[in-house]
């Protein structure tokens, strides 16, 4: 097992924001209808053993009737679309909040073998809607010393089928969705991606902190930006005044909502998510180089 860290966190932060030397160069997104119920093939015993240790049980009927699309299928599909638009991916970082219902195959291991060039693959999970922002930071750190033609893939995944009880079940995804970005390193003198991640942020504190972050983005970039906000982001009147337009993601997605919406925009964009249960506030700002 390998552990990766970002060694420059203190050095690249100024104020509330740190600048990541990357820009998005291409994107792909897909919603999957499901491929039918999953074959048991030992999965029933695996799931039973997994949840019993936590004093829970899982819904066998859901497993029998669920329209399942595995993360392996979702990830390989959007990566194939992405690699038709960029020359190749040297690294891929997966980000998700809900686990893969089909645990018989690892999406990360599959991509190492299936994607040309055998990219290095990382996964970020157990951080709710913050996971894609952490994945973005890790992807950027691995591009700092990369060549100008290097590309890193950021994959954000939602899967609707979770056959056991979870906290905050009302926020489980309504669809199986995958969103992919190809990130490229910036060139000298080019603006990168701005990122703010804060933990232990109460809902009241998030309402006050978000306008501060947006104001710092506006002051540093002079951008007129679209704000793409997740379902639980406290967008106050002060925050609205700082944005050219506010695009609130509709209920349904979990991690993928803002990332799918941002991929449809061509100008300066700010992405914001707040997880009231974990008390994480995350904001990213970029001007895509499509």
Q: Which pLDDT band, with edges at 50, 70 and 90, does 163 fall under?
A: confident
pLDDT at 55 over 90: no
Mean pLDDT computed over every residue of the chain: 89
Q: Which pLDDT score, from 0 to 100, does residue 40 have?
A: 66
Instruction: Tell me the C-alpha distance between 119 and 253, whole Å.
Output: 28
Q: Kindly report, residue by residue over 72-108, the tens digit of the pLDDT.
A: 999 999 999 999 999 889 999 999 998 887 777 789 9
Q: Strands across the sheet with 226-229, in order?
A: 13-14, 17-20, 193-198, 280-286, 269-275, 226-229, 245-248
Q: Kindly report, residue by residue over 269-283, the tens digit of the pLDDT.
A: 999 999 999 999 999
Q: Which pLDDT band, with edges at 50, 70 and 90, does 168 fall under?
A: low
Q: Which pLDDT score, from 0 to 100, does residue 216 have?
A: 98
Q: Which pLDDT score, from 0 to 100, does residue 46 have?
A: 78
Q: Which pLDDT band, with edges at 50, 70 and 90, does 12 fall under?
A: low
Nearest CA-CA partner of 254 in 188, 179, 204? 179
Global pTM value: 0.90
DSSP string across 87-143: S--SEEEEEESSPPS-TTS-HHHHHHHHSTT--EEEEE-SSGGGHHHHHHHHHHHTT
Q: Which pLDDT score, from 0 to 100, does residue 276 have?
A: 92
pLDDT at 249 over 50: yes
Q: Which pLDDT score, from 0 to 100, does residue 45 have?
A: 80
Separation of CA 18 from chain center:
18
Do 98 and 158 form a contact (C-beta atoms < 8 A)? yes
Q: Which pLDDT band, with edges at 50, 70 and 90, does 3 fall under?
A: low
pLDDT at 1 over 50: no
């Amino acid at each position: 097992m390998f552990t990766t860290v970002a060694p420059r966190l203190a050095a690249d932060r100024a104020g509330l924001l740190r600048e990541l030397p990357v820009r998005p160069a291409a994107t792909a997104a897909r919603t999957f209808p499901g491929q039918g119920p999953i074959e048991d093939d030992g999965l029933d015993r695996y799931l039973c053993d997994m949840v019993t240790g936590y004093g829970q049980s899982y819904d066998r009927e859901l497993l029998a009737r669920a329209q399942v699309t595995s993360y392996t299928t979702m990830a390989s599909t959007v990566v194939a679309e992405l690699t038709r638009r960029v020359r190749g991916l040297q690294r891929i970082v997966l980000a998700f909040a809900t686990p893969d219902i089909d645990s018989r195959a690892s999406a990360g291991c599959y991509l190492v073998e299936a994607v040309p060039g055998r990219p290095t693959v990382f996964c970020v999970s157990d951080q709710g809607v913050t996971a894609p922002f952490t994945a973005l930071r890790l992807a950027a750190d691995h591009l700092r010393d990369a060549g100008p033609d290097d590309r890193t893939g950021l994959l954000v995944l939602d899967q609707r089928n979770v056959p056991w009880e979870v906290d905050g079940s009302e926020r489980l995804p309504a669809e199986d969705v995958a969103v992919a970005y190809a990130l490229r390193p910036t060139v000298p003198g080019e603006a990168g991606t701005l990122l703010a991640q804060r933990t232990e942020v109460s809902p009241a504190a998030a309402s006050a902190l978000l306008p501060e972050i947006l104001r710092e983005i506006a002051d540093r970039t002079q951008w007129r930006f679209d704000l793409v906000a997740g379902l639980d982001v406290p967008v106050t009147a002060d925050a609205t005044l700082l944005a050219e337009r506010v695009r609130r993601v509709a209920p349904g997605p979990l991690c993928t909502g803002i990332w799918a919406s941002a991929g449809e925009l061509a100008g300066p964009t700010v992405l914001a998510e707040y997880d009231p249960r974990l008390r994480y506030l995350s904001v990213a700002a970029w001007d895509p180089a499509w």
